[in-house]
Amino acid sequence: MAGLFESAGGGGAAIALEELEVSILRSLEVGILQLIGPGPGGDGGDPLAALFAEGPSETPANPVLARLFPDAYGDPAEPADEESRAAAGEFRRYTELDLRARKREDALHVVRTLDRLSGGGVLKLDPADCQRWLGALNDLRLTLGVQLEVGEDDDELYELPDEDDRKPLVMAYLWLGALQETLLEAIVD
C-alpha cells in the first residue's frame, strides 16, 4: 500500500488508491458507522425524534466509544469527583448526539467517496472533503489505538512478529497515521 495524499492546490488533496486500499478504508469506516449506530429516530432519521432527543449523561461503557466521546470535564487519568462527573454528564447530554451525528456523517461521506472508486483510482478532495476525511481518519486511528491499547511507550507494537494477531491492526494504524499526516500537509501547501 503506497497511497498517500498530495496537494491538489487551493486547500484540496488527491490520493491514488489501489482497490485493496479502498476496500480496507471502506471496511474500517463501515465499522465506525456500526459502532456509532443510528441517530435518534433510527435509520429513518425521524426529524421530530431528533429535535426532542437528549443524549446520554453517562460515559459509554465501551472503551472505544468512551475514547470517541470523552468526558468534557475532569482529568482522564484521575478518577472523577462527583462535581466533575455531574458537569461532564450534563455537557454530554446536550452535545453527544450532535458529535455522534457529525462522526456518522464524516464516516458516511468517506464511504460514499470511496464508492466512487470502484477498483481503485485517483481520488480528488476539495477543502470541505478534506476536513471530513481528517475527522474520519482521526476517528479510525482513535478506534484502532484503543483496540491496540496504544500508549506513549509502545515501541514494541512496531516490532511485532508477523505471527502476532495484532500485526494487521498495527499496520492499519500506522497507515492511517501516514494518511492523516500527508492529508494535513497537503491542505496547508
Q: Give 115: exposed, middle or buried? Use CB within 10 Å, 0-12, 13-18, 19+.
A: exposed
Q: Which of 16-20, 90-94, 134-138 has the lowest mean pLDDT?
A: 90-94
pLDDT band at 187 (very low <50, low <70, confident <90, very high): very high
Q: What's the pLDDT score for residue 129?
A: 97
pLDDT score at 85: 86
Choose among 100, 110, 112: nearest CA to 45. Answer: 100
Residue-wise pLDDT for 111-138, tens only, equals 999 999 878 899 999 999 999 999 999 9
Weakest-pLDDT range from 20-34, 54-68, 87-101, 151-165: 151-165
Domain extent listing, the chain: 12-188
Side chain identity at residue 90, one-letter code? E
* pLDDT at position 2: 60
Confidence of residue 1 (pLDDT cuts 50, 70, 90): very low
**What pLDDT is attached to residue 76?**
72
Among the listed residues 153, 146, 152, 133, the one whose alpha carbon sits nearest the alpha carbon of residue 173? 146
Higher pLDDT, 46 or 34: 34
